[in-house]
Amino acid sequence: MGIAISGTGLYTPAQSISNEELVEAFNAYVRKFNDQNKDAIAKGEVEALQESSVEFIEKASGIKARYVVEKEHTLDPDIMCPRFPERSNDELSILAEMGVLAARDAMKAADKTADDIDAVLVACSNLQRAYPAISIEVQDALGIDGFGFDMNVACSSATFGIQAAADMISAGNARSILVVNPEICTGHLNFRDRDSHFIFGDVATAVVLEDEEVVKTRDSFKILGTRLKTSFSNNIRNNFGFLNRTAPETAGDKDKLFVQEGRKVFKEVVPLVSDMIVSHLEDLGKSAHDLKRMWLHQANKNMNDLISRKVLGHDPDKDQAPVILDEYANTSSAGSIIAFHKYKSDMGVGDLGLICSFGAGYSAGTVVVEKIS
């Protein structure tokens, strides 16, 4: 029995922030901070903040804009954080709401109803709460009679979720499974940090997996193989958690949001991922020359270009390794799925592709697929 991805879905928030808007807000904050602390700065007691620029952002990342769930307060120099009103326990949570919209899109693409789905996996970087699971909330909102659970492997959550779902279907534990990736990345981004204030955006994606024998839609892909890898590193970290309240003196420190050592990440992750892709293909009896497309994790264009170059042996063109960073920015686990969703319809039957994730942990995942319909 082979397992196929028979449908993909995407929810894109209505609001977008351009680099120009983001830089304007950030620089207003910087000027205000430097003015308020000018005496301490002059005495060397406080370090002056440096302004950002559109050119810096685009050169460093390839990002030009990002979609966000909440724009107004994110761009307010006195706040610089999205504001989401607390919802009652009787209302659908915001993370579940985004997931449901992406899931419905994927189910429509796969020609599936709630009766056809047996499980929901919500796999993302940041879960809105500890319990009840967001996946069970999504399952309930969709009217699915089955089971659900949440999982977090940071930027690799989607590929890890795909392997988990494929394994459960192969074992006979489910007929069809939804893997949903709602990412409100702006909620854990420090918009007052010059090196990272531009990185993330918000989005939700979803995929439907099922036995290839029952697939009845176009744009379906058989999974030829999956591979996962983790290697502990502190170079990307977020220390927010339920124990923060037990140490109130550090509960508001910068490490309770996203922090990273970008240069170290670049240096260490690129060879890890490129070697992993090549070895996975070899173990499947394939090579990079067999790949028509690589849907890579969308964190940084420079990283993607170098990984593609190492794998393919030449500079990739936009068709071989499509980039959605310019419009969506880094959306953590959803990035490679957005690229797959948007750039798969021109694939022919028999064409080979690769979905790849990498990020905090370190974690990395590869899913080799073949177009079957």
For the chain, the C-alpha Rg in angstroms (whole number) is 21
Instruction: Specify the pLDDT at position 216.
Output: 86
Examine the pLDDT at 160 and tell me if it is beyond 80.
yes
Examine the pLDDT at 108 and tell me if it is beyond 80.
yes
On average, the pLDDT of the chain sits at 97
Rounded average pLDDT over 27-52: 97
Residue 210: φ, ψ to 5°? -160, 170
Rounded average pLDDT over 118-132: 97
Rounded average pLDDT over 161-165: 98
Question: Of 318 and 286, which is predicted with more confidence?
Answer: 286
Instruction: Specify the pLDDT at position 208.
Output: 98
Q: pLDDT tier at 122 (50, 70, 90 boundaries)?
A: very high
Q: Distance between CA 150 and CA 161 in Å, rounded?
A: 9
The answer to whether 152 and 127 are in contact (CB under 8 A) is: yes
* Domains of the chain, start order: 221-371 (3.40.47.10)
Q: Per the omega criterion (within 30 degrees of 0), is the bond before 271 cis?
A: no
Instruction: Specify the pLDDT at position 318.
Output: 83
Instruction: Specify the pLDDT at position 105.
Output: 98
Residues in the chain: 373
Rounded average pLDDT over 335-341: 98
Instruction: Specify the pLDDT at position 329.
Output: 98
Instruction: Specify the pLDDT at position 317.
Output: 86
* Residue carrying structure tokens 């301490």: 40
Examine the pLDDT at 255 and tell me if it is beyond 80.
yes
> Which bin fits 83, alpha (ψ -120 to 50), beta or left (φ > 0)?
beta
- The contacts of residue 312 (CB under 8 Å, 6+ apart) are 288, 291, 320
Q: Distance between CA 322 and CA 128 in Å, rounded?
A: 30
Instruction: Specify the pLDDT at position 177.
Output: 98
| 3-state SS class at 116 | helix
The answer to whether 160 and 153 are in contact (CB under 8 A) is: yes
Q: Distance between CA 176 and CA 81 in Å, rounded?
A: 38
Examine the pLDDT at 22 and tell me if it is beyond 90.
yes
- pLDDT tens string 60-107: 999 999 999 999 999 999 999 999 999 999 999 999 999 999 999 999
Examine the pLDDT at 218 and tell me if it is beyond 90.
no
As a whole-number percent, the residues of the chain with pLDDT over 70 amount to: 100
- Is residue 81 flagged as an active site residue? no
Examine the pLDDT at 1 and tell me if it is beyond 80.
no
The residue annotated as part of the active site, out of 81, 124, 155, 356, is 155
Q: Bridge-partner residues for 366, per DSSP?
A: 227, 356
Instruction: Specify the pLDDT at position 152.
Output: 97
Instruction: Specify the pLDDT at position 10.
Output: 98
- The contacts of residue 247 (CB under 8 Å, 6+ apart) are none
